[in-house]
């Protein structure tokens, strides 16, 4: 596995390798969970990234002192995205209007992670309600990209990505309702897998909503991602749409190498109708060409155009936020960030109950089109595209309207990623190089239930063109 390890044991230095190598160090007695936690909190205090909004030292130290390092993630400090639920922690959706709410339960993902030995350090910052791809809120201010202060790590899992890429923690939870795993991973040089819808249960108290959001992680290595899904995936009866476990993801890494040979792929710079920066696409198309040559893939030129879904996706999300706020709306309008506040206000004013029917009609059209593209007989196995339309933009926002000098409007942000959320199929962002010193991610989209293929593609890149695990 092409990863680097930090060999020091100073309590002021966090581990700069991946989580799996840190577990190995714990087991070998080279470092202890308490030492790593000391270093983690010291790093948070010294950091100017603004990646954490809530810390729980008492809970974390109790877990670290009692850590069983023989567990899959035994003793590993992790960040928890503030849109995830942990019993006794704030449950605010990153919105000051909900600042008084404390969760009375932990999600299944958190429960399974704790059973696997993780140490919960605190909450990482996110965008309000996961609504935009910049992590800057009234509650916490702007979170910064460790590759360049003043740039965003993306959203909504921006704090998680900043903390992992910035060398604070090796792992953090993330969620993806329109790109919120892949977008930050692409901006910060991390692995970001959006799995098939239902891989990790969203129980308990799941509100199914518009069926676009999945939970997961951002990581420094492919094996960390695989181990995460080994620990957290599998059916829970409280989430009726959750999927059964499918075996061991980490032990099977590399086993799909032969299955990768001869796949049909489409290389699509304008996936979802997006406009991509020419400089970024030059890097990503070169990576795509190399993967095609290395695996003997068949490059297929087919129609990959998709129905316009940006407005429908946005409307659906805004209506859900409005319902969640309930009586707090419209009194809280002034405390929402502009992207959320303006969008919510216009959506509430313009759309009534009939909007849901129109949204579902458009989603049906997208599902049919995606099924055509990934048809086993006449379509492709993989779509290779960008994770983001350009490199990371200003941490304070607003959302950019130009991408590599090309005007496309603010709606271009996220256009590359949300098709996989609406269709529910897996997609991964793989570090693929740099533009102007900032990371860029190659997004690979595949058929439902084919995450192991995506992980093996990422593993191939990691072994042959290893990326820096943290910002240099």
* pLDDT score for 455: 97
Annotated active-site residue 81? The verdict is: yes
pLDDT of residue 90 exceeding 70, the answer is yes
The whole-angstrom separation of Cα 373 and Cα 385 is 14
Q: Structural domain boundaries of the chain? A: 19-232, 258-305+372-464
**Residue 4 pLDDT:** 36
Q: pLDDT band for position 334 (50/70/90)?
A: confident
Higher-confidence position of 5 and 117: 117
Could you confirm whether 255 is annotated as catalytic?
no
19: three-class secondary structure by DSSP = helix
Residue-wise pLDDT tens digits, 380-424: 999 999 999 999 999 999 999 999 999 999 999 999 999 999 999
- Helix axes 451-464 and 278-295, enclosed angle (nearest 10): 100
- State which H helix or E strand residue 355 sits in: helix 354-373
Give me the CATH topology for the region 19-232.
Amidase signature (AS) enzymes (3.90.1300)
Q: For the domain bounded by 258-305+372-464, which CATH number is listed?
A: 3.90.1300.10
**pLDDT per residue as tens digits for the range 302-326:** 999 999 877 666 777 777 787 778 8
| pLDDT recorded at residue 353 | 65
Over range 99-110, report the average pLDDT: 97
Answer yes or no: are the C-beta atoms of 87 and 103 closer than 8 Å. yes
Strands 264-267 and 382-386: parallel
Residue of 156, 221, 316, 387 marked catalytic? 156
Which pLDDT value is given to residue 352?
67
pLDDT digits (tens, 9 = 90+) for 344-394: 777 776 666 676 777 788 889 999 999 999 999 999 999 999 999 999 999
pTM of the shown model: 0.95
Distance CA 60, CA 37 (A): 8
Q: Is the pLDDT of residue 115 over 60?
A: yes
| Banded pLDDT at 2 (limits 50, 70, 90) | very low
Q: Taking a C-beta distance cutoff of 8 angstroms, is the pair 275, 412 a contact?
A: yes
What mean pLDDT value characterizes the chain? 92
Q: Do domains 19-232 and 258-305+372-464 have the same CATH topology?
A: yes
- Set 32, 106, 107, 180: catalytic member: 180
Q: Which of 21, 81, 242, 316 is catalytic?
A: 81
């Amino acid at each position: 596995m092409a990863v680097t390890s930090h060999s020091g044991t100073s309590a002021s230095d966090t581990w700069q390798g991946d989580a799996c190598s840190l577990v190995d160090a714990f087991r070998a007695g080279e470092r202890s969970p308490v030492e790593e936690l000391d270093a983690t909190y010291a790093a948070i205090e010294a950091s100017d990234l603004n990646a954490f909004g809530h810390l729980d030292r008492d809970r974390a130290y109790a877990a670290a002192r009692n850590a069983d390092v023989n567990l899959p993630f035994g003793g590993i400090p992790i960040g928890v995205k503030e849109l995830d639920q942990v019993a006794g922690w704030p449950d605010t959706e990153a919105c000051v209007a909900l600042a008084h709410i404390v969760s009375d339960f932990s999600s299944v993902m958190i429960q399974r992670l704790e059973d696997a030995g993780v140490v919960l350090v605190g909450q990482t910052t996110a965008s309000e309600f996961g609504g935009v791809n910049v992590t800057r809120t009234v509650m916490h201010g702007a979170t910064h990209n460790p590759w360049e202060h003043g740039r965003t790590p993306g959203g909504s899992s921006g704090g998680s990505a900043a903390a992992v890429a910035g060398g604070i923690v090796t792992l953090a939870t993330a969620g993806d309702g329109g790109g919120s795993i892949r977008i930050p991973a692409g901006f910060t040089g991390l692995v970001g897998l959006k799995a098939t819808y239902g891989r990790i249960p969203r129980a308990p108290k799941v509100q199914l909503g518009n069926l676009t959001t999945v939970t997961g992680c951002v990581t420094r290595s492919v094996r960390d991602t695989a181990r995460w899904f080994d620990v957290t995936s599998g059916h829970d009866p409280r989430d009726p749409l959750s999927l059964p476990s499918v075996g061991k993801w980490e032990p099977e890494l590399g086993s799909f190498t032969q299955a990768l040979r001869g796949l049909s792929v489409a290389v699509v710079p304008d996936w979802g109708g997006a406009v991509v920066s020419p400089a970024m696409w030059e890097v990503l198309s070169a990576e795509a060409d190399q993967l095609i040559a290395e695996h003997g893939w068949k490059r297929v030129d087919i129609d990959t155009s998709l129905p316009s879904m940006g407005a429908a996706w946005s409307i659906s999300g805004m209506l859900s936020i409005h319902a969640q706020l309930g009586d707090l709306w419209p009194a809280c309008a002034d405390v929402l960030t502009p992207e959320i506040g303006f969008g919510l206000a216009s959506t509430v004013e313009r759309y009534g109950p009939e909007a849901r029917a129109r949204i579902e009609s458009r989603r049906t059209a997208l599902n049919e089109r995606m099924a055509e593209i990934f048809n086993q007989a006449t379509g492709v196995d993989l779509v290779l595209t960008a994770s983001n339309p350009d490199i990371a933009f200003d941490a304070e926002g607003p959302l950019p309207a130009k991408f590599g000098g090309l005007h496309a409007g603010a709606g271009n942000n996220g256009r590359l990623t949300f098709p996989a959320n609406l269709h529910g199929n897996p997609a991964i962002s793989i570090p693929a190089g740099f533009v102007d010193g900032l990371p860029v991610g190659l997004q690979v989209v595949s058929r439902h239930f084919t995450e192991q293929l995506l992980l093996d593609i990422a593993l191939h890149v990691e072994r042959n063109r290893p990326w820096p695990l943290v910002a240099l």
